[in-house]
Amino acid sequence: MEQAGSLSARGSTGSATPDIRTASVRVPARSRAADIEREPERGVAADESRSAPGARGEHTHSEPAMPHPGVESPPPPAGSARPGVENARPVIQRASVRGQILDALRTALVAGELAPGQVYSAPVLGERFGVSATPVREAMQQLAVEGAVEVVPNRGFRVVRRGTRELAELAEIRALIEVPVLLRLARTVPAARWAELRPLAEATTRAASAGCRATYAECDRSFHHAILALAGNHQLVQIADDLHRRAQWPLVGGPVSRGRADLMADAAEHTALLEALIAQDLAVVQSLAREHFAGS
C-alpha cells in the first residue's frame, strides 16, 4: 500500500524527516501547465501566483525542493501530447483534488508521517502532491477544524501534540455515547443482520495481519460505522466517527504506530464483539466495548 516520498517539515535542520505516502490515495504529481489548462474557469494562473512559495506569509526559502511521487500511469490517448504539458500522469478532476489531498493528509497523520509538533507549509506540501498550494491549504484548514493541526501565522500548520490523557478522555466519551447504543441494538437487531457485518470484521483482521496502521484505521472505522448506522441516527454516526478518528492520531513521544500484535488483538475484539451482539449477550457486549475503546 505504502510508497514513501520525502516530506520536509518547516524548521528542519537537515535531520531525517517523516515520509508522506501518497500512492495509496492516488494523488499523483502533475505539471503546472496541465494544472492551468484544466482550470481556466477558476483563473488558475492567478491562483498559482497567490499560492507560490512565500504566498500568504508561508516562507519556504529554507525548505528543500520536493521530489514528486513516482506514480505509474497509463499512456495518454494518441494525439493528446502537447509541448510543455506532461501527459504521463492521470488527470485529477478539480472537484476531487481537495478531498484526495485531505485523505492523503489524514492517512499520513494516522501513520505518523506528519510528526506531532512539526510545522508544514502548504506550498511545499503542494509541490509534493503536484498541485497548487490552494487545495492543500483548504485540506489543512479542515484538519484544523478537526483539531489535528493548528495554524501558525506566516509559517503554515503545526501538527497538534497530544498525550495519553487526551486519549483516555476520548475513550470515555466514546463509551458514554456508543455503549448504550450497542446495548439497545443488541436487543433489537436480528442475528442475521449482525452476520452481514462479518466481512467488515474480517477486513480488520487482514489489515492487522499486514501490519499497516493506515489501512487498519480505515477498516476499523468502517466496522464501527456500520454497527452504529443500524441505529438510524446520522448525527450519532458523524459524531462517533469524528471521535474515533481523533483517537487514532499518534501520541507525542509515543511509538509511530502500534505493532502488528496490537493490531491483531484489536481486530480480534471486533470478532468477539460481533459474536456477542449475535448472541444478545449484553454483559459481554458492554465489557468488550469499554475495553475496546480504551485500547483504541
Which CATH number does the domain housing residue 55 bear? Answer: 1.10.10.10
Mean pLDDT computed over 99-117: 89
CA distance 98 to 248: 22
- Collapsing DSSP to helix, strand or coil, 105 comes out as helix
Q: How confident is the model at residue 93 (pLDDT cuts 50, 70, 90)?
A: low
Same domain, 202 and 231: yes
pLDDT above 70 for 256: no
Q: What is the pLDDT of residue 113?
A: 86
Same domain, 138 and 78: yes
Residue entry with cell 452481514: 196
Mean pLDDT computed over 55-74: 44
Q: Which of 116, 143, 159 is the last residue of a domain?
A: 159
Same domain, 123 and 178: no
Same domain, 151 and 186: no
Q: What is the pLDDT of residue 296?
A: 59
Same domain, 125 and 12: yes
Same domain, 103 and 228: no
Number of domains in the chain: 2
Q: What is the pLDDT of residue 28?
A: 42
Q: What is the pLDDT of residue 65?
A: 42
Question: Taking each helix axis from N to C terminus, what angle separates 94-110 and 122-129, rounded to the nearest 10 degrees?
Answer: 100
Ranges 13-17, 94-98, 127-131, 139-143: which has the least confidence:
13-17
Same domain, 200 and 282: yes
Q: What is the span of the domain harbouring residue 265?
A: 164-294
User: Mean pLDDT in the chain?
Assistant: 76
- Sign of the C-alpha dihedral computed for residues 129, 134, 135 and 138 taken in this order: positive
Same domain, 94 and 214: no
Q: How confident is the model at residue 274 (pLDDT cuts 50, 70, 90)?
A: very high
Model pTM? 0.65
Same domain, 96 and 233: no
pLDDT above 90 for 234: yes
